[in-house]
Amino acid sequence: MRRFPFTIQHRDPAGAARVGRFETPHGAFDTPAFMPVGTRASVKGLTPDQLRDAGAQIILANTYHLALRPGEDVVATMGGLHRFMSWSGPILTDSGGFQVFSLATLNAVDDEGVTFKSHIDGASLRLTPERAIEIQEALGADIIMAFDQCPPLPAPREQVQIAVDRTIGWARRCRDAQRREDQALFGIVQGGLDLDLRMHCLEALVRLDLPGYAVGGLSVGEEPEEMARLLRGFTGAMPVDRPRYLMGVGRPIDILRAVDTGIDLFDCVLPTRNGRNAFAFTDDGFVRLRNSQYKTDDRPLLDGCACHTCARYSRAYLRHLFLAGEMLGPMLVSLHNIAYYQRLMRRIQEAVAAGTFQSMLADCEARATRSTQNEET
């Protein structure tokens, strides 16, 4: 039996969407799944109990940021990441590879690894594949990510090729450096929008026989249609018996399109970032709470939503909190947004199981089109 069982329970009869369950040392989670992002061992503005009540089963933290502050040794001394942040469920840690892209002005990349200049105090931090694994083993997450190089888009093919070659070599070094057997190491497929480079990277990573595989390097500058086209041509080539993780993609319509290609796992900062900026997710687009039309609106953010925010507070009150600069506003809207995403994932799971996912996708496509048209007018 594989150490980290992944069971496919339902498949969409008209597409590639699927429902599964992945088991970890800190419990199982259902897929397709959306992970709230707790970069520094905290999902901004929300407690672990609130996340659980909203339906979250797995969350994400970040190797680079936790290595800088408080340091993986502190986390290990405090009993590991689960105990440190009081989250008993599964945790995934990113390897720091995305920061190679997002903090490009603060790092220098070579074939051995990356040297960062800390965005906090300017101190030097050296990350290699071996060091990324060492940090993640100290943090104690259930799923750990191989160190990779995420190229920007658009980029010359030669630049993407270099990133792919490094990503393959670094993944092999990560596998060889891993000592803990209770952590599932996922490889990350790079290659930009070049399908041939993606296939080359995937084939090399599959030979490492890892417990799961991620698609990295998307939602970094390309148009949503370009990402969707790449996934349609690529996801089906990924191992069918391992979880497929699309990193950093979070618009609801993009999630649905990716699920249709067979993707199982997602993360993004959109729910909490938008929540902090008075944007609430609904099936028909955003409620922009700073708009004057909500000044005396007694309705919840979303009719039928069972989250704590919608059960107790009106749009008018939430708008007031933002205009008054009260921290409760960002907290409540972030909570609603996380609950909305978790509800979306449950609806996807139910639709796939019932054989109605294609209808759900078509309805969401139509709603997204109407929302875009309304924003433009």
* Residues marked as catalytic: 94, 267
Report the distance separating Cα 254 and Cα 248, nearest Å.
11
CA atoms within 13 A on the CB side of 51: 27
- How many helices and strands, by DSSP H and E, does the chain display? 15, 16
Q: Could you count the other beta carbons within 10 Å of the beta carbon of residue 83?
A: 12
- Phi, psi (degrees; rounded to nearest 5) at 250: -145, -5
Q: Which residues are registered as beta bridge partners of 8?
A: 20
Note the residue count of the chain. Answer: 377
Concatenated DSSP letters of 328-364 = HHHHHHHHHHHHHHHHHHHHHHHHHHHT-HHHHHHHH
**Longest Cα–Cα distance in the chain:** 61
Strands 143-145 and 184-189: parallel
Report the distance separating Cα 54 and Cα 70, nearest Å.
28
CB 61 within 8 A of CB 40: yes
Instruction: Kindly tell me the burial class for residue 239, based on how many C-beta atoms sit within 10 Å of its own C-beta (0-12, 13-18, 19 or more).
Output: middle
Q: Could you count the other beta carbons within 10 Å of the beta carbon of residue 56?
A: 25
Report the distance separating Cα 257 and Cα 233, nearest Å.
13
Q: What is the dihedral of CA 230, 231, 232, 236, to 10 degrees?
A: 130
- Give the residue among 367, 357, 366 at the shortest CA–CA distance from 16: 357
Report the distance separating Cα 192 and Cα 57, nearest Å.
30
